[in-house]
Chains A and B, each alone.
Chain A
């Protein structure tokens, strides 16, 4: 894909991010951070592609490490966010 369309996607996504996140109230800022932690684990996609290419042993080793770190982010991030959000209750 050409560079310009990638940059377009990048810029629009940043603006979209600003719009969506500005509306999150302070009470939920910690879950927002741990949730976005999990989303930044999206590098797992890059790690899968890079490791799966299997171009050399070194690539495979580095790739396995990248996968492990990214998976900690994804699995740990979503799980701890769920645990936290479960605590936010409204009593009548």
Chain B
């Protein structure tokens, strides 16, 4: 590798870091993203200049096909479907790393080396030279990349409704996972010990495919934000491993930045659900938790309300907070919510949105859905910002959210959500819950909020309900 290439890689690395830093604020985020794109372009350009480019038709063909698919997908995708798209793209990053590692090992076995000088281990069978770093990195890239690919396909399938959203469990499933994992480790070691026998390598690809599927299938729909974040991290780590295969610094740097980013998001999501990563991966929400039987907490305590009554209450309010959940997006109620917000603001009512970290199907999903409706981002409040304000809030409108406003979470134990940080909406003067029925959320438990004295239930489809409230509000 020559000096020019490495110097430009350094510039790229700096731009990637500045780009990610730019994503720290809505004002600078667009520029940050563009810096990242420039960094990628520079790295590609100098790589093409500085390396052999034999068979340009394959290179141009691959890039053209990828660009076309990428552009079409990016322009047509609905914002509600972002989790699926990011999920699928994680997988594409993983498979790309696997393919590069595969080429590297196939070429090495045939006596070619790509992107690096080979020195070190000498295979007894063929007399070929392999170095240990190359072999370990190749096995790691194949392992992590393949798990990422298949895990992402399953996650995509679950979010898209192709694969069941339920946590698929069967007796002895943990044991099966552990056995497959050990098998994958054994094959990785065999690849390193005898790389010339490519059967080990293909076996590794096969068994890690199974592992990727087994790890993701048991995870339920509500845990998808965590899984997507984790797979995001894996795709970065796979790229970094590929960097060690090729001795390439920019792959290592950019890959580890993404790996770190995914890990942090995973931690944030786990904390927001008060669960350990191990519990998410191996536990399955709602499974094997001793549950206190609350009995019938609803009968005689539920107060049903109407659009007219809600409109009257809103008219006399000074501060209103919306608490949206994924149900709002499913009902496509964002537009009437925005209309209602505008109508109330025109009357001088302060309106904000309280957004739980796990609202939606991926980290930050709800913010994007509301931003798409042209709702100003300074009205979108994080849990820690909004919680102290509920006591001074006249009306909270909970729409399509359930578990994240369940007061049971504040109890130390007794329910699957105990200890999970929630939005304390019950502290507001009046809570309006828009919901189709009293059915439980993902956690599968009743919600005492619905039976509280200051709670009014509006049983209806989210969009229809808010549409009616908008009409009633404007008429009142």
Q: Which residues of A contact B (CB under 8 A)?
A: 1, 3, 6, 9-10, 13-18, 20-56, 58-91
Quote the shortest CB–CB distance from A57 to chain B (angstroms). Answer: 9
Contact A78–B40 (Cβ < 8 Å): yes
CA distance A90 to B30 in the complex (A): 14
Identify B62's interface contact among A43, A47, A56, A91, CB under 8 A. Answer: A47
CB-based closest 9 A-B pairs: A71-B66, A17-B260, A54-B54, A67-B62, A29-B364, A76-B70, A75-B70, A66-B99, A29-B363
Quote the shortest CB–CB distance from B159 to chain A (angstroms). Answer: 13
Quote the shortest CB–CB distance from B474 to chain A (angstroms). Answer: 21
Quote the shortest CB–CB distance from B464 to chain A (angstroms). Answer: 25
Q: Which residues of B contact A (CB under 8 A)?
A: 1, 13, 16-17, 19-21, 23-26, 29-30, 32-34, 36-37, 40, 43-44, 47-48, 51-55, 58-59, 61-63, 65-67, 69-71, 73-75, 77, 79, 82, 85-86, 89-90, 92-93, 95-97, 99-100, 102-104, 106-107, 110, 112, 114-115, 133, 228-229, 232, 235-236, 238-240, 242-265, 268, 355, 357, 362-365, 367-368, 371-372, 374, 376-378, 380, 382
Identify A32's interface contact among B47, B74, B364, CB under 8 A. Answer: B364
Quote the shortest CB–CB distance from B17 to chain A (angstroms). Answer: 6
Q: Contacts A28-B24, A76-B69: A38 and B36 contacting too (C-beta < 8 A)? A: yes
CA distance A15 to B61 in the complex (A): 37
Quote the shortest CB–CB distance from A75 to chain B (angstroms). Answer: 3
CA distance A70 to B97 in the complex (A): 8
Quote the shortest CB–CB distance from A81 to chain B (angstroms). Answer: 5
22 A–B pairs (Cβ distance < 8 Å), ordered by A: A9-B253, A28-B364, A39-B236, A40-B235, A40-B239, A42-B250, A44-B40, A46-B96, A46-B245, A46-B246, A46-B248, A51-B59, A64-B62, A68-B69, A71-B70, A72-B66, A72-B89, A75-B67, A75-B74, A76-B69, A79-B75, A82-B34
Quote the shortest CB–CB distance from A27 to chain B (angstroms). Answer: 4
CB-based nearest B residue for A75: B70
Q: Across the interface, which residues of A come within 8 angstroms of B26, CB to CB?
A: 27-28, 85, 88, 90
Q: Contacts A31-B29, A49-B114, A63-B62: A25 and B103 contacting too (C-beta < 8 A)? A: no
CA distance A24 to B79 in the complex (A): 20
CB-based nearest A residue for B375: A91
Contact A1–B247 (Cβ < 8 Å): yes
Q: Across the interface, which residues of B come within 8 angstroms of A1, CB to CB?
A: 1, 247, 249
Quote the shortest CB–CB distance from A7 to chain B (angstroms). Answer: 9
Secondary structure of the A contact surface, majority rule: helix
Identify B372's interface contact among A58, A76, A78, A87, CB under 8 A. Answer: A87
Identify A64's interface contact among B25, B37, B58, B67, CB under 8 A. Answer: B58
Contact B63–A59 (Cβ < 8 Å): no
Identify A16's interface contact among B107, B239, B257, CB under 8 A. Answer: B257
Q: Across the interface, which residues of A come within 8 angstroms of B63, CB to CB?
A: 67-68, 71
Quote the shortest CB–CB distance from A40 to chain B (angstroms). Answer: 4
CB-based nearest A residue for B82: A30
Contact B23–A31 (Cβ < 8 Å): yes
Q: Across the interface, which residues of A come within 8 angstroms of B103, CB to CB?
A: 50-51, 53, 55, 59, 62-63, 66
CA distance A22 to B367 in the complex (A): 18
Q: Across the interface, which residues of B come within 8 angstroms of A38, CB to CB?
A: 36-37, 40
Q: Across the interface, which residues of A come within 8 angstroms of B73, CB to CB?
A: 72, 76, 80
Contact B249–A9 (Cβ < 8 Å): yes
